[in-house]
Amino acid sequence: MVDGVACSKQGWRPAAFNAGWAHHDRVQSHGEGAWLSQWMANRHQHSAAAVWLERIAAGEMHRNGEPLAGDMQLTSGDDICWQRPPWLEEAIPDQWDTIHDDGDLLVINKPSGLPVMPGGGFLEHTLTALLASTGAKPVHRLGRFTSGLQVCARTAATRAALSKQFRPESRCQKIYQAWARRVEGLEPGQSLVVSTDVVERQHPLLGWIWGPEPLDQEPTRKRLTAHSTVRLLDRCAAGDRLEVTIRTGRPHQIRIHLAQLGSPLLGDPLYLLNRKISETATPGDGGYGLHSWRLNALTAAGLSFTAPLPKEFDF
């Protein structure tokens, strides 16, 4: 039992089908007259128009509560529902160590492989679902394969207050450890600051994903400012063990900034050398070592927490 949550004896929850999900979209005025299949393909680029036609034929699509028998032209204000059938969710680790619990604030050492919130093919196999019976909810989101300090709280007021601590202007220090390829020009104990933007880049599986600034002239879309401080802790034949302190919390920021430096995380299947992005991997794929190690001055009371490093960090 972990914080009132029943867990498997092996520490893993086996793969299982969920109950499916009803996903709703509202048609705006600029969608007036568009065909549903193409409108959905433009809106959700993981599936082509032909796939949405198959879903319509399978009875999965509804308009204003009524099932659709075929493709149709849309009207502004239409409520479109995709009743996604149950799908198989992968096995996940469902045990963790509690770092702090005062009845409201809950800080755990999240294991690598456990998704925090629904997304990326996970709905019920998430930390959010595992905590549901306790009343605690995550305040922020660690990547599925990022281990370490995950902050949760049981009251909405505490979650709102804590979420501010993850903004750039807060006093809170967010410190990670990471194993990466050798960072050229950096000696043990030395630090460097990375302030390059993370940018949206095209991806054949997902449409657009966040990544480093490309070396060539490939198209980019949105960009977000990001700031990381990288310090070399140790160097061995396998790579560099780094301490990375972030002021901003952009999507996949540490993975992207290290790729920007030419030193991607060891085993990262998505962010590659020369600022390239794999066409076959997604942000939710694992294989890398990244650990949320310390949080300093998290609350108004100045609480600080440390999560022991996983055994995988011993090279």
Would 5 be classed as within a structural domain? no
Q: What is the domain count for the chain?
A: 3
Amino acid at 250: R
Q: Is 112 inside any structural domain?
A: yes
Cβ atoms within 10 Å of 259's Cβ, excluding its own:
26
205 in the same domain as 183: yes
> Any idea which residue has 């099932």 for tokens?
67
| Domain identity same for 272 and 286 | yes
Classify residue 16: in a domain, yes or no: no
Which range of residues forms the domain containing residue 144? 89-164
* CATH number of the domain residue 26 falls in: 3.10.290.10
Which residues on adjacent β-strands are paired with residue 193?
A: 229
Contact 154, 103 (CB under 8 A): yes
Q: Is residue 79 part of a domain?
A: yes
- Same domain for 126 and 30? no
Q: Are 125 and 90 in contact (CB under 8 A)?
A: yes
> pLDDT tens, position by position, for the chain (315 residues)?
344 444 444 699 999 999 999 999 999 999 999 999 999 999 997 899 999 999 999 999 999 999 999 999 999 999 999 999 999 999 999 999 999 999 999 999 999 999 999 998 999 999 999 999 999 999 999 999 999 999 999 999 999 999 999 988 888 999 999 999 999 999 999 999 999 999 999 999 888 999 999 998 899 999 999 999 999 999 999 999 999 999 888 999 999 999 999 999 999 999 999 999 999 999 999 999 999 999 998 877 789 999 999 998 876
CATH (domain of 129): 3.30.2350.10
Q: Tokens 């029943």 identify what position?
A: 6
Whether residues 210 and 157 share a domain: the answer is no
DSSP 160-195: HHHHHTTSTTSS-EEEEEEEES--TT--TT-EEEE-
217 vs 203: CA distance, rounded Å:
15
